[in-house]
Structure 1
Amino acid sequence: MKQNFTVRQGALDGVEAFLSVARHRSFRKAAAELGVTPSAISQAVRTLEARVGTALFIRTTRSVGLSEAGERFLSRAKPAFEELVAASEVARDLGQRPAGLLRLTVPRAVVPILLEPLIATFCQAYPEIEVEIAASAELVDLAAGGFDAGVRLGQFIAADMVAVRLSPPFPFVVVSSPEYLRRRGTPERIDDLRQHACLRMRRSNGSIAPWSFVNGNKPIEAMVSGPLIAHDFPTILAAAAEGMGLAQVPGPIAAGLVEAGKLVRVLEPFAPTGPGVFLYYPSRHQTMPKLRAFIDHVKGRAGAANKTRSRMDDKRTRGTKMR
């Protein structure tokens, strides 16, 4: 039968006073060390002795010594109390400066695109922080999983989370290899997907995600079929590049393969725009310095990127006017 063990309220009361008296063999010196009156120290020790159920000190008018029970109590209480003090100092240290282990849960697809540049510069800036990245497509409970923060597409982040933007909004594009399109033809309308092999994604809740489109201002969900179901975008993207079929993926992760000519975008007029990728975490009030440092680093990088884009836009605008 399972038993419930609890620490009695006030079980540690008087222990610090006892240890100080035991160290100095004096109630007066213990009081001076702890910054209280001798009578307060005496009362704390008497309360502890009453709770323990035996005398811990042998007192005379000239000296203070430990009883046998006091000696045994000291041998167990001293190292335990020192461990408690050390634990408090370690926790306080982590609460006052950026240090320790920062655990992030992220989708595998965003690691090379967004996180690798961020992590490299962050680790250089904060050498006392270790970063652990758990790459998974599943929507993880941060608290239950022991994570400080997560990275997800904006539409999958719960409303009670604090979110920091990592990317601008981007389209979800349908891509295919040129070889597949030569064999099967290029779809021109959403309905054409009925005749095509479509590579699909299984969500963390077990359902297969429909493909999303827009036709004018009207959102459309299409149930498609094909030879492959995967649990992450990189697997689907690689299969599309091998000519297995069409894939719908976030635009940024397909950009490199599109530029290299290994993939081609199709159905572009119907591509929906997602909110982008965000860093998210539970509460501003619970933010440790290590996470705050990472958030500030993310915002700093985003600000620098926005300034760079703005300068490039200005140059393009001036060049257009000159022409």
Structure 2
Amino acid sequence: MVRPTLNDLASFAAVASHRNFRVAAETLGISRSALSHAIIALESKLGIRLFNRTTRSVSLTQAGAQLLARLDPVLQDLDEALDTLAETRGTPSGMLRINANKSGARILLRSVIPHFLDCYPEVEIDLVSEGRLVDIVDQGFDAGVRLAEAVPLDMVAVKFGGTVRFITVAAPCYLKDRVPPGTPDDLQAHACIRQRLPSGKRYRWEFSRRGAEVAIDVPGMLTLDDNDLLVQAAVDGQGIAYVPDSFAQPFLATGQLVTLLDEWCPPFPGLVLYYPRNRHVPATLRAFIDTMKEIFQDEDRK
């Protein structure tokens, strides 16, 4: 039997982890075709099939599952050894992959990432921004960024960026000759710009005042799936929108939008960067978290 190379085994582990050749190839930074040929060559070297493959699914054979069980801790030990070496050199290096929602990505790009890349020029950041909540381990990410309430309980969560506030906004031109809503129930008499969640469901607007909580499926003829588009539609006078305050703030400052139902829109715990509790934390991620904490502590002092 020809002994497989470390690259062969890393390719196998990526496919076994993701159960998907496309995602595994993206994680490894190679083409799907190259990865497929590498797995075929590995199975040829070992003289045994490691995967059951169909046009729709990839699953491990019994031999593949046995190999993964023995190989996974070995590769984790190797990652830790390389990280220890990087720490000895004093300079983290390599790829750091983060999956974030759009508001989290904005904050990191504005405040953390430029400073981090200046301090650690040997680190490459791959920041993926998307609305849907993904399994960061399965998708090959080192960390995720979401609102605290959405993070799985088995993750370590690091808060940043302070609280978040969703606000109800409209353009003065829309409110002209209309009575502004005084309570959430009054929204039933208005044109609301509704939001489609990544799951496909429409978002119910959530309000709270003095312990009373209300969730409303607001009326409206326009539904969008992006906060920037929601804000722009509100600026254009299409109706009332419900968005994170950070997206609306530039237009509030210029008077293109005004807030409504302020007392029904309290702040709540905001964004966190999170990562798996029981897995090795790479040096690149530890350095990123330290940089993030330092920056937001400095901002809190101002």
**Fold-level match, TM-score > 0.5?**
yes
Rounded Cα–Cα distance in structure 1 between residues aligned with 2:108 and 2:80? 31
Q: Could you say what secondary structure the match of 1:109 adopts?
A: helix
For structure 2, list consecutive stretches of 5 or more residues without a partner in the other structure: 5-76, 87-91
Q: Distance in 1 between matches of 2:171 and 2:246?
A: 17
Paired with 2:221 and 2:108, the residues of 1 have a C-alpha distance of 30
CA positional deviation for 1:225:
2.0
User: Post-superposition shift, 1:196?
Assistant: 1.0
Instruction: Quote how far apart the aligned CAs of 1:183 are.
Output: 4.8
CA distance in 1, matches of 2:289, 2:96: 12
So what's the TM-score if we normalise by structure 1?
0.64
1:204 aligns with 2:198: yes
1:1-323 equivalences in 2 (<5 Å): 92-94=81-83, 96-97=85-86, 98-283=92-277, 285-308=279-302
Give the whole-Å Cα distance in 1 for the aligned partners of 2:162 and 2:97: 24
Give the Cα–Cα distance (whole angstroms) in 1 for the partners of residues 279 and 214 of structure 2.
40
Tell me how large the CA RMSD over aligned residues is. Answer: 2.3
Q: Is the 8 A contact 2:193 2:223 kept in 1?
A: yes
Taking every aligned residue pair, what percent have the same amino acid on both sides?
Answer: 34
Structure 1 CA distance, aligned partners of 2:283 and 2:93? 7
The alpha-carbon deviation at position 272 of structure 1 amounts to: 3.3
CA drift at 1:114: 4.0
Higher mean Cα deviation, 146-155 or 290-299?
Answer: 146-155
Question: Structure 1's 232 and 142: CA in aligned 2 closer, same or farther, altered over 3 A?
Answer: same
Q: What letter corresponds to residue 106 of structure 2 in structure 1?
A: P
TM-score (norm 2): 0.69
Conserved? CA contact 2:111–2:295, under 8 Å: no
Kindly tell me the number of residue pairs found equivalent between the two proteins. Answer: 225
2:208 maps to a residue whose letter is: V
- What amino acid is aligned across from residue 263 of structure 1 in structure 2? L
Partner SS, residue 142 of structure 1: coil
- CA gap of 1:144–1:264, structure 2 versus 1, over 3 A, is same
Q: Give secondary structure in 2 for the equivalent of 1:175.
A: strand
Distance 1:119-1:134 versus aligned 2 partners, 3 A rule:
same
Distance 1:284 1:255, change over 3 A: farther
Aligned to 2:105, the other structure's residue is in SS state helix
Secondary structure of 2:115's counterpart equals: helix
Residue 193 of structure 1 aligns with an amino acid whose one-letter code is: L
Larger radius of gyration, structure 1 or 2?
A: 1
Q: 1:180 to 1:96 in 2, by over 3 A?
A: farther
Q: What code does the residue aligned with 1:264 have?
A: V
